[in-house]
Structure 1
Amino acid sequence: MSQLIQEYLLSIERKLDFDSGLALRAREDVEEYLHEFAADRHLGAQDAVQLAIAGFGDSDSVARQYAASGLGRQISQTWLTLILAMAGAFAAMRLRAMTFGVEVNELFSALLWLDRFALATCLCFAAIGRLGFSFRLPLQVCSPRTAFRIAMLAIACSVAFGLSRAALANAVNLTGWPALIVIATAAAEIIAVAFVGIRVRKMDRYFFRASAAG
């Protein structure tokens, strides 16, 4: 492979390094295109790359095209991840509520309502992000990109409120299997929040690359 083609392909890969699978697919597609283009027209590497760029675009354009083509799938996966995380957080909240048995104090009760409000906020903004990407909504509250960020923040707040309630319950000597349930649900929620963060960050980079100026 000529050095010129290699540099062109590496430039595309670097711009799509947030998704190794997408970067590899783009490289293979463009590499095959360049070689076929050169072979069909009996051109040298330099002429082939220059003519291909004129019709196919420079590395920035190619990266934008591939990121845009995969953005819909990323939106769907992020939406699903948020919904699953929200469902898991709600299940954890209910488990802890049954474990605690009684309200410790007024703050304990207030944290429960804040937890529920955070989950409702997550569902609302996750839906805004998902629908806002696919349709033109009558009321544009915020961009899909921002909506998913807010949904992620809401999930994190829900977990924080839940862990605060667990800490208050622990203050009244929560022991035995109830304590194990609290620890297990807290660990699961923290892992879920981390996974949501990774997923939203990846989707965000798709957005950035798909809309980046050349």
Structure 2
Amino acid sequence: MSQLIQEYLLSIERKLDFDSSLALRAREDIEEYLHELAADRNLGPQDAVLHAIAGFGDSDSVARQYAASGLGRQISQTWLSLLLAMTGAFVAMRLRAITIEAEVSELFSALLWADRFALATCLCFAAIGRLGYSFSLPLQVCSPRTAFRISVLAIACSVAFGLGRAALAYEAISTGWLALCIVATAAAEMIALVVAGARVRKMDRYFMQASAAG
């Protein structure tokens, strides 16, 4: 493979490095096209690359096209990840509400209501983000990308409020299966939060690349 072809393919891969599978698919597609073009037209590597650029565009254009083609799937997967993370946080909240029976203080009750509000906020902004990417909403509260970020922040707040309640009731749950339940649900929430945050970040990179200026 000529140095020119290698540089062209590497440039595309670097612009799609936020998704290794997408970068690999783009590289394989373009590389196969280059070889077929060179064979069909009896072109040298340099002429093949020049024809590829004329047909596909430069590496920036190719990266934009591939990112745009996968953006819809990323949005759907991000929406699903947020729903799953929110559902997990809700289940954890209910388990804590059932297992921690003592009303430690007014702050303890306030944190429960704050937890519920955070989850409602997550659902609301996740829906705004999902619908905002697909439709032109009559009232745009914020951009879809911002809405998804707020959803992740709301889940993080829910986790924080739940752990705050657990800390206030520390004496009641410091031993036995209650403590194990609290630790397990907190760990599950943190994992779900990290996964949802990573998914939002990945979708954001898709969006930025797909909308990058030429």
Cα distance, 1:166 vs structure 2? 0.5
Q: How many residues align?
A: 214
TM-score normalised according to structure 2 size: 0.96
How much is the aligned-residue C-alpha RMSD, in angstroms? 1.2
My pick for the range that moved more, 29-38 or 111-120, is 29-38
Cα distance, 1:16 vs structure 2? 0.6
Partner Cα distance (1:106, 1:142) in 2: 34
Hey, what does 1:69 align to over in structure 2?
69
Whether the 8 Å CA contact 2:173–2:179 is kept in 1: the answer is: no
Q: Is 1:55 aligned to 2:62, yes or no?
A: no
Q: Is 1:30 aligned to 2:30, yes or no?
A: yes
Cα distance, 1:48 vs structure 2? 1.6
Partner Cα distance (2:173, 2:161) in 1: 19
**Partner amino acid, structure 2, of 1:191:** I
Partner Cα distance (2:172, 2:102) in 1: 11
SS at match of 1:18: coil
Q: Is 1:11 aligned to 2:24, yes or no?
A: no
Cα distance, 1:173 vs structure 2? 5.5
Partner Cα distance (1:178, 1:14) in 2: 48
Cα distance, 1:45 vs structure 2? 1.3
Cα distance, 1:55 vs structure 2? 2.1
Partner Cα distance (2:114, 2:13) in 1: 44
Partner Cα distance (1:10, 1:173) in 2: 55
Task: Please list every run of 5 or more consecutive structure 2 residues that lacks an aligned counterpart in the other structure.
Answer: none
- The superposition leaves residues 78-97 of structure 1 with CA deviations (integer Å, 9 ceiling, x where unpaired) of 11111011011001000001
**1:26-175 equivalence runs, <5 A:** 26-172=26-172, 174-175=174-175
Determine what percentage of the aligned residue pairs are the same residue. 82
Partner Cα distance (1:71, 1:187) in 2: 30
Whether the 8 Å CA contact 2:100–2:172 is kept in 1: the answer is: no
Could you say if the C-alpha distance between residues 26 and 173 of structure 1 is closer, same or farther in structure 2, counting changes exceeding 3 Å? Answer: closer
